[in-house]
Amino acid sequence: MKVLKFGGTSVANAQNIKLVLEIINQNSKEGRLAVVVSALSKVTDLLQLAAAKAAANDESFREIVAEIEKKHLDTLKELIPVSEQSSLLSHIKRIINHLETLLDGCFLLGELSPRTADTILSFGELLSSYIIAQAYHQINKNSVYKDSREIIKTNSNFGKAVVNFEISNQLIQEYFAENESQINILPGFIALTLDGITTTLGRGGSDYTAAILAGALDAEQLEIWTDVNGMFTANPKIVKQAQPIATISYQEAMELSHFGAKVLYPPTIQPVLRKNIPILIKNTFDPQAEGTLITNQAPANGTAVRGISHIDNISLLTLEGSGMIGVSGSSKRLFEVLSHEKINVIFITQASSEHSICIGILNSDADNAEIAINKAFEIEILQNKIDPCIVEKNLCIIALVGENMKNHQGLSGRMFSTLGKNNVNIRAIAQGASERNISAVINERDVKKALNTLHENFFEENTKQLNLFVMGVGNVGEKFIEQIHNQRKFLKDNLKINVRVIALSNSRKMLFDEDGISLKEWQAALDNGETAQKEAFIARAKELNLRNSIFVDITADASVSETYEQFLKESIAVITCNKIACSSAYDNYKKLKSLSRQYNAPFLFETNVGAGLPIIDTVKNLIASGDKVHKIQAVLSGSLNFIFNNFDKNNSFHDVVKEAGVQGFTEPDPKIDLSGIDVARKILILIRESGYEMDIDAIANESFLPAECLATTNNEAFFTSLIKHAPHFEKIYEEALSKDSRLKYVAQFENGKASVGLQFIPKDHPFYNLEGKDNIVLFYTDRYVDQPLLIKGAGAGAAVTASGIFADVIRIGNI
């Protein structure tokens, strides 16, 4: 014989019940069945609400009863032929009338006793099982309905009654021995005291009913039919990459179900565990799926960690003080207090110094527990031997579970290291001697990040998911997104990096998608996004709290550069081509670097100097390896190099600057490039990365622009001034020709002094043949004395700048 149990979602409505009937029918071909069913979905909640309202003298409980009646009558009418409905509808109405009478009593008395509550809650299963039994009888006449209260007996602990297995097993065995029906359909969740009073078996009681029957009958198998394809490596609603577990041991299943795996109620396993009866978890809506088989042995070739689970709504209570050290009985007193208050302890840890005991309980029990503990230790608290109970709410317990974890070293370190890298703060840790479970208490807001991070580390072949929040989607931003789109598959297959763009923003609109924005038609989606607001963008990124989050600044906006601190403090990495932050006040630059280390959030800005050239990375490696930079000479503006390489007798200075803008080589405001401030920022960043302290005002900026050009306030006025002062620029060009030199805008640093300005470069200088938009940097160091370290290549342009930003993303992926 097999025992099948169908949960609330499986019997939510007539359509779902038809699937259940088909599954029962298919299984009936293999032998006798006991079928246990839950109440229709949400009916138990409605019954609880109706009872509470009635006890509170709220007449609206009658509306809830009417809703419950309609739900069941509609279901019956859809499942049963019209010719068979009359007597069945009358039976349903009689049950509803009985329910309403009980609720009337609660209303009149203004109270709801635990005994009455159990009776009221029993109506959900009584109604659903009757309807399903009658519907299946239309298919197979060799089927009967059996009220499980007649064969399962409990004590009178209403709300969570304890089963009398000796009597129940005998009654179950006698009934199934005397009754020869092939299919027996029974309500779950409910039972009866020896005095004939209805009780319930607690949360998940229908699972328990099925397990009780399976154990008593030595069933071939217990099948739990639900709405998912078995037990998963993590909650699939939180971890999208969670995978079904094909086989798992009883012990592992109990650990996972205790820690929130909702497909199985922990006590369910006990009656079948003793008899080694397999449990198969199947999906009503995908019956062909393999499901999860629970047996008495874990697979020999299984992974060490079988699943990651969690319990929400946890409070941490800490009792500590010198008065506990060496004093026997402190723990006993603490747990006795909680036992008397009927508070379940979910988590326990104690320091070896005996100075403190830390326990985890449900948030709903925290206030009561705090009062009771402080009262029990009142004398010690008054004598300052023990501190008042410390309560921390809104926490969560996460757990790694696996039968084979005891045979693998380093799992705890790997778990906590993974969480630490994403700045998930651990409040408490516990691990049993069996090493089947490693538990940690964390903040509730970090649950999603923690579960996804751990799942990625233990189950996803070390594929690292990076979640990008991109601000600025102009020329460079567009190329950056295009490069991500083109390289996503390569990165995932070869570097095990999964890059997702979670948010995009320009000056007008912003767009968020927690599952990742489709990069095929992102422009249209962004155009239809919400109004861009910088603070709202930051707040949403923080609120999502995704693992490996990266803020990518592809703007030249000073106000955006001022937000980096907020991101770093939330352990959100920052990648930027915006030079303002790293060339701001030295104290701010150092603060950002310090926050990056403190919160384990990379702060990368390779494209601040040289676009896609590895200049900053090279400097970092030089310094890290013990070298010292003494002198830097560089042409650091690809836009200025392009301008002066193309400015001649045939091309006016104004026209060349215009063309540089069209090509995307200059900033939106070209005066930033031509004033020299952009180059000054770049050399300043190189100086700082070389280990020197300097601020921007210490750099001599010898501008070649006339004062009137520098004083303009918009692009139109600036370009007009370039036309007006054309003779000035032509004179500079003629002077370069006369000296047989070329014009280059050079940045220099030596002996603690720095400058930027236009220079006449002779033919024998390394800068003379620098073409197009190229950059060049010469580093003179302890190791590179006579011949400098030279880095040369394209230093401007949307594509190369985007590639530099992309390279920083990959650097974070490889950390």
- Is there a domain that residue 162 lies in? yes
Residue given tokens 């309807």 in the structure block: 131
CA atoms within 13 A on the CB side of 806: 22
Q: How many folded domains does the chain comprise?
A: 4
Residue that is last in its domain, among 608, 643, 672: 608
Q: Do residue 470 and residue 401 come from a single domain?
A: no
Q: Do residue 37 and residue 182 come from a single domain?
A: yes
CA 480 to each of CA 165, 168, 567, 668: distance values in angstroms, whole numbers, following the listed order: 67, 68, 21, 17
- Is there a domain that residue 808 lies in? no
Q: What's the pLDDT tens digit per position in 14-51?
A: 999 999 999 999 999 989 999 999 999 999 999 999 99
466: pLDDT strictly greater than 80: yes
Mean pLDDT of all residues in the chain?
91
Q: How many helices (H) and strands (E) does the chain have?
A: 29, 30
Question: Residue 467: which residues within 8 A CB-CB, separation 6 or more?
Answer: 500, 502, 544, 546, 547, 548, 549, 550
Q: Do residue 559 and residue 581 come from a single domain?
A: yes
Percent of all residues in the chain with a pLDDT value above 70, rounded to a whole number: 97
Q: How many CB atoms lie within 10 A of CB 790?
A: 12
Confidence at residue 437, expressed as pLDDT on a 0 to 100 scale = 84
Which of 268-272, 318-322, 428-432 reaches the highest mean pLDDT? Answer: 318-322
Confidence at residue 702, expressed as pLDDT on a 0 to 100 scale = 87
Residue that is last in its domain, among 588, 608, 628: 608
Q: Do residue 588 and residue 665 come from a single domain?
A: no
Which of 427-441, 464-478, 661-675 reaches the highest mean pLDDT? Answer: 464-478
Closest CA relative to residue 631, chosen from 497, 789, 509:
789
Q: What's the pLDDT tens digit per position in 182-240?
A: 999 999 999 999 999 999 998 778 999 999 999 999 999 999 999 888 888 888 888 88
Contact between residue 188 and residue 206 where contact means Cβ atoms under 8 Å apart? yes
Q: Is residue 682 annotated as a catalytic residue, yes or no?
A: yes
- Is there a domain that residue 96 lies in? yes
Average of per-residue pLDDT across 310-329: 86
Q: Are strands 549-553 and 530-531 parallel, antiparallel or unpaired?
A: unpaired
Domain that holds residue 325: 307-448
Residue given tokens 């004062």 in the structure block: 707
**What CATH number does residue 363 fall under?**
3.30.2130.10
Helices (H), 460-603: 475-490, 522-527, 534-544, 558-561, 564-569, 586-598
Rounded to the nearest 5°, which phi and psi values hold at 273?
-60, -45
**What CATH number does residue 594 fall under?**
3.40.50.720
Confidence at residue 258, expressed as pLDDT on a 0 to 100 scale = 64
Q: What long-range pairs does 351-356 form, CB within 8 A, spacing at least 24?
A: 353/325, 354/324, 354/325, 354/326, 354/327, 354/330, 355/320, 355/321, 355/322, 355/324, 355/325, 356/318, 356/319, 356/320, 356/321, 356/324
Confidence at residue 430, expressed as pLDDT on a 0 to 100 scale = 85
Active-site annotation holder among 153, 464, 671, 682: 682
801 pLDDT band, cuts 50/70/90, is very high
Q: What's the pLDDT tens digit per position in 542-579?
A: 999 999 999 999 998 999 999 999 999 999 999 999 99
Q: Do residue 468 and residue 364 come from a single domain?
A: no
Average of per-residue pLDDT across 327-337: 85
Q: Do residue 603 and residue 621 come from a single domain?
A: no
266 pLDDT band, cuts 50/70/90, is low
**What CATH number does residue 182 fall under?**
3.40.1160.10
- Is there a domain that residue 146 lies in? yes
Rounded to the nearest 5°, which phi and psi values hold at 34?
-110, 125
Confidence at residue 205, expressed as pLDDT on a 0 to 100 scale = 87
Confidence at residue 309, expressed as pLDDT on a 0 to 100 scale = 87
- Is there a domain that residue 475 lies in? yes
433: pLDDT strictly greater than 60: no
Q: How far apart are CA 781 and CA 789, in angstroms?
A: 8
Question: Residue 519: which residues within 8 A CB-CB, separation 6 or more?
Answer: 481, 484, 485, 488, 501
**DSSP assigned state of 347:** E
811: pLDDT strictly greater than 90: yes
Which helix (H) or strand (E) element contains residue 440?
Answer: strand 437-443
Rounded to the nearest 5°, which phi and psi values hold at 537?
-60, -45
779: pLDDT strictly greater than 70: yes
Q: What long-range pairs does 732-737 form, CB within 8 A, spacing at least 24?
A: 732/704, 732/758, 733/647, 733/648, 733/649, 735/760, 736/760
Computed from CA positions of residues 480, 486, 492, 493, in that sequence, does the dihedral angle turn out positive or negative?
negative
Q: Do residue 773 and residue 791 come from a single domain?
A: yes
- Is there a domain that residue 198 lies in? yes
Average of per-residue pLDDT across 521-540: 95
Confidence at residue 351, expressed as pLDDT on a 0 to 100 scale = 66
Low-confidence winner among 406-410, 639-643, 698-702 (lowest mean pLDDT)? 406-410
Q: What's the pLDDT tens digit per position in 72-114?
A: 999 999 999 999 899 999 999 999 999 999 999 999 999 999 9
Low-confidence winner among 150-159, 424-433, 447-456 (lowest mean pLDDT)? 424-433
Q: Do residue 336 and residue 479 come from a single domain?
A: no
Q: How far apart are CA 789 and CA 777, in angstroms?
A: 8
Report which residue type is found at 536: A
Average of per-residue pLDDT across 757-786: 92
Q: Do residue 537 and residue 474 come from a single domain?
A: yes
* E-strand stretches of 68-211: 143-145, 153-154, 183-187, 190-193, 198-200
- Is there a domain that residue 278 lies in? no
Q: Do residue 561 and residue 624 come from a single domain?
A: no
Low-confidence winner among 13-27, 28-42, 427-441, 730-744 (lowest mean pLDDT)? 427-441
Q: Do residue 78 and residue 184 come from a single domain?
A: yes
Q: Do residue 112 and residue 181 come from a single domain?
A: yes
Residue that is last in its domain, among 423, 448, 473: 448
Average of per-residue pLDDT across 477-501: 94
Q: How far apart are CA 220 and CA 278, in angstroms?
A: 8
- Is there a domain that residue 94 lies in? yes
Q: How far apart are CA 606 and CA 147, in angstroms?
A: 72
Q: What's the pLDDT tens digit per position in 589-633?
A: 999 999 999 999 999 999 999 988 999 999 999 999 999 999 999
407 pLDDT band, cuts 50/70/90, is low
